[in-house]
Amino acid sequence: MEITFQLNGKKITRSIESDTILLDLLRELKCYSVKRGCETSNCGLCTVFVNEKPILSCSTIAARVNGAEVVTLEGLQDEAKAFGAYVADEGAEQCGFCNPGFMMNAIAMFRENPDPTDDEIREYLSGNLCRCSGYEGQLRGIKAYLAYKKGEVQNHVTQ
């Protein structure tokens, strides 16, 4: 079957098998930020935006994105760079394997809720598995970035 979709702003037309998983198609298209983790929809490593909503690409049949707009972390470099500096500054980056999915979900949260409480942040990111940290560094990084975006503090991170 043939599908056509926008990937990070570029039109893509591909012939795929009916059972092709979106994660596999995206990696084939060199979107290496999309990672295979648990393969049970529990870790968040494969998160991408489809029509501006975060979805898990490991549990999505690629045919479902026909006619859709798909954005991976490769398509959000400016937004991700600004936020990522705050995460790194708080020491939350350790091995970095979970970062792409974490960044995608955090960016989705920023867009949907620009002023979340700590509990809302924890709830929103609960589907992101990180084995290196206790999530406190990520929470501090998110809070510092949000404070900067609101103008409450100056940018203390060198980019």
Task: Classify residue 100 by burial, with Cβ atoms within 10 Å: 0-12, 13-18, 19+.
Answer: buried
pLDDT, tens digit, 9 for 90 and up, residues 57-104: 999 999 999 999 999 999 999 888 888 888 888 776 667 677 888 889
| 106 close to 142: Cβ distance less than 8 angstroms | yes
| 35 close to 101: Cβ distance less than 8 angstroms | yes
Query: Domains (ranges, CATH) in the chain?
Result: 2-74 (3.10.20.30), 76-149 (1.10.150.120)
pTM summary value? 0.86
CA 72, 43, 147, 111 dihedral sign is positive
